[in-house]
Amino acid sequence: MPFTELQRQLDERAAQGLQRRRHVLESAQGVRITVGGTTRCCEASGAGVPPPRLLPQTAGSASNVSEADGKSYLSFCSNDYLGLTNHPQLIAALQAGAQQYGVGAGASHLVSGHFAAHHQLENELAAFVNKPAVLLFSAGYLANLGAVQALVGRGDAVFADKLNHASLNDAMLLSRAEIKRYRHNDMAQLAQLLEQTKSGRKLIITDAVFSMDGDMAPLPELLALCEQHDAWLLVDDAHGFGVLGEDGRGSLSHFKSPPAPLLQGGEADDDIPPLKKGGRGDLAHCEKDNTLHSPRIIYMATLGKAAGVSGAFVAAEQVVIDTLVQHARSYIYTTASPPALAAALLASLNILREDDRRRGQLRKLIAQLRAGLMELPWQLMPSQTPIQPLLVGGNEETMALSEGLRARGIWVPAIRPPTVPQGKARLRISLSAAHSEQDVAQLIGALHELAC
């Protein structure tokens, strides 16, 4: 058999409790989801399951699926932080966009696939995040791949937090630049690495909100180091855009008043030069809208999480965006996303600007959850974002806890290596503004039951 070795590797993953499976949703994404089954494409037998049945949906309904068709769960596993994926205004905008533009772009942006809706969305996003220009991508993964590879290459250096998202890790590997990784949020080690690099472009890449930990990068301190060492900063705000900052403008808006520069996360070595007095210059001053602003920042955010639709964008100085148009291969050589999605995103952006109630609800739910889980035997990791990780440790124990919740009608995913380090498997609890206080109380009660 030509794939015997592949099957052996899959069997090893299953034995280690690391096997991944896809669960088939038969409802719209939301607080309550209906799960029809699990695909078994990775099991040792190699047996698959029939393709999922396509269920009819009635206009305006969250789901048309009965309990007999699949099991309903209270979900704490999506990145739909504001509950917009099934919002009627977005659905109506998508339908109108499809009527006007059709269902597909039909070409790349540089051929004939750049529609008026795409262009309008780029302009409005640029104004929303206070950047001169924006470029749309079909996914956050593609945005990071395209941006990093277009901006650095051989002879340059990339400095990366060790807990960065996989898309940033792949981007730096494919760029062929020299890679220098620093301990998570350790500004002392990063300063030392920057000081040791004497030539070439220097690009620091970081998550703004770390997707498996829920904590944030110290963006003002990173910008201070950029100024001192003439570096650029690429910020991946996939989990901050729409949630953090004024009107949900993201992590740059969250850091309204930069503190005095300091080194975090480790002891400063004697040979590390001090930061310049003030430490900011043109890099980290606050604009009139209180957004942390810098021409050195290359800002990436996704549009399939808090924004509720799909895609991503890079916001930066016009010269940076022009460079991406010329050199970002993941932008140039792919079909543009459907323009109807851009129409839906314009409606989503209006909601982000005008409806702060959803972010207020999220803040209340985060406080409720953290207060309710303080006495558990598992560590609730420090996070003030909708990502609330419960550190369990072992793979089997984490899977058992996730299954225990599922038996109680609650869906919370178990996150295992290699997504997180060995011995740090966890439940990744994701909160949404669509959750109620009763939903969160149900989760808290179930976890306390399982802890007994």
Q: Which two tokens stand for residue 307?
A: 């924004």
pLDDT (tens digit per residue) in 94-121:
999 999 999 999 999 999 999 999 999 9
Domain covering 4-86+365-451 assigned CATH 3.10.20.30 in the classification: no
Q: Does the predicted model carry a pTM greater than 0.95?
A: no
Q: Which two tokens stand for residue 49?
A: 């399951």
Is-contact 216 241, C-beta < 8 A? no
Instruction: Give the pLDDT score at 16.
Output: 84
Instruction: Give the pLDDT score at 23.
Output: 87
Domain ranges of the chain: 4-86+365-451, 88-354
**71: CB partners within 8 A, 6+ apart:** 34, 35, 409
Q: How far apart are CA 326 and CA 187, in angstroms?
A: 33
Q: How far apart are CA 326 and CA 310, in angstroms?
A: 24
Ranges of residues in the chain with a pLDDT under 70 are 37-69, 256-290
Instruction: Give the pLDDT score at 260.
Output: 38
Please give, one letter per residue, the 3-state secondary structure of 18-68: CCCCCEEECCCCCCEEEEEEECCCCCCCCCCCCCCCCCCCCCCCCCCCCCC
Domain 88-354's class? alpha beta
- Assign 302 to helix, strand or coil: strand
Instruction: Give the pLDDT score at 290.
Output: 63
Q: How far apart are CA 313 and CA 302, in angstroms?
A: 6
Among 101, 2, 81, which residue's Cα sits nearest to residue 309? 81
Instruction: Give the pLDDT score at 7.
Output: 94
Q: How big is the CA angle at 204 (ends 274 and 121), to the nearest 5 degrees?
A: 130
Beta bridge partners of 302: 312
Q: Which two tokens stand for residue 442?
A: 């149900």
Beta bridge partners of 178: 157
Instruction: Give the pLDDT score at 256.
Output: 66
Instruction: Give the pLDDT score at 42.
Output: 42
Within 10 angstroms of residue 46's Cβ, the number of other Cβ atoms is 11
Instruction: Give the pLDDT score at 69.
Output: 53
Q: How far apart are CA 154 and CA 178, in angstroms?
A: 7
